[in-house]
Amino acid sequence: MTTSTRRILVVEDEKSIRDAVTAYLEKEGYWVTPAADGLAALDAFDKHPYDLVVLDLMLPKMSGEQVCAEIRDTSDVPIIMLTAKGEEEDRIAGLEIGADDYLVKPFSPRELVARVRALLRRAHVGEEPQRDRLEYGELSIDVAAHKAFLGTEELDLTASEFKLLTTIARYPGRVYSRMELVEKVLGYDFEGYERTIDSHVKNLRAKLRDDPKTPTYIYTVHGVGYRFEPPKSDEV
């Protein structure tokens, strides 16, 4: 499949991080515009269409949250927030004001690239056929047939567990808040049901023999929700 070059706006005041992120994304074939503050970022955003924005939360002149809100006024471009450790509440706020994902510093460039890819895939999902089969290490999911296997063993999943697994496994690396999973998996949006998601996750983990302390597939994102990661190659 050929795709046109995707354009990414990187907003980060710390030069070393900005340069590193720009270099890694360029190496992956993306067309990158680095911006050192929010005003420069909004200026660039006005001038060119972007496919994705990497946005630092703590910026001079204008906070990342303000930049995010301004962008959201006119665009639903995917946004990845960069936050420092200990800014958990800010992170949640970031997701609430419309960021799609976030990374906590220090992060590995590989992780950033994986998140960028996952978000771009999701944003352009209408342009690509939805995969009917998801395979990650031992785990394989036949979406159309509603079956999941660990090795050759078919997993006995409830409808909700299957929906939960396919939802998070389709976009590895993406963080799903509990509320979002309630909506996507259970189809309603009452706050009280967030605990229901926790128990579905607990049951699903047991069936996948996935230990929450040393997960192979499903990771807890404290204070937010969950994300799926493919098993590391040395664990397969």
Q: By the criterion CB under 5 A, which residues form the site for Ca ion?
A: 13, 56, 58
Closer by beta carbon to Ca ion, 79 or else 179: 79
Is the distance from CB of 210 to CB of 230 less than 8 angstroms? no
Closer by beta carbon to Ca ion, 56 or else 101: 56
Q: How many residues does the chain have?
A: 236
SS3 state of residue 141: strand
Query: What's the distance, Cα to Cα, between the start and end of the chain in Å?
Result: 28
What is the spatial distance between Cα 113 and Cα 154, in angstroms, rounded to a whole number? 32
Helices (H), the chain: 15-27, 38-47, 64-74, 88-96, 109-123, 159-170, 178-181, 194-208
Closer by beta carbon to Ca ion, 56 or else 100: 56
Q: Residue 188 Cβ, how far from Ca ion at the closest point, in Å?
A: 38
Count, in order, helices (H) and strands (E) of the chain.
Answer: 8, 12
Closer by beta carbon to Ca ion, 13 or else 70: 13
Crossing angle for the helix pair 64-74 and 38-47, to the nearest 10 degrees:
20
Q: Which of 45, 56, 47, 48 is nearest to 80 (CA)?
A: 56
Q: Residue 91 Cβ, how far from Ca ion at the closest point, in Å?
A: 14
Q: Residue 7 Cβ, how far from Ca ion at the closest point, in Å?
A: 22
Partners of 139 in the β-ladder: 136, 150
What is the spatial distance between Cα 24 and Cα 54, in angstroms, rounded to a whole number? 13
Closer by beta carbon to Ca ion, 94 or else 172: 94
Q: Residue 235 Cβ, how far from Ca ion at the closest point, in Å?
A: 34
Q: Which residue is nearest to Ca ion (CB)?
A: 58
Q: Residue 108 Cβ, how far from Ca ion at the closest point, in Å?
A: 18
Partners of 104 in the β-ladder: 83
Q: Residue 41 Cβ, how far from Ca ion at the closest point, in Å?
A: 12
Closer by beta carbon to Ca ion, 64 or else 225: 64
Closer by beta carbon to Ca ion, 32 or else 164: 32
Q: Residue 92 Cβ, how far from Ca ion at the closest point, in Å?
A: 18
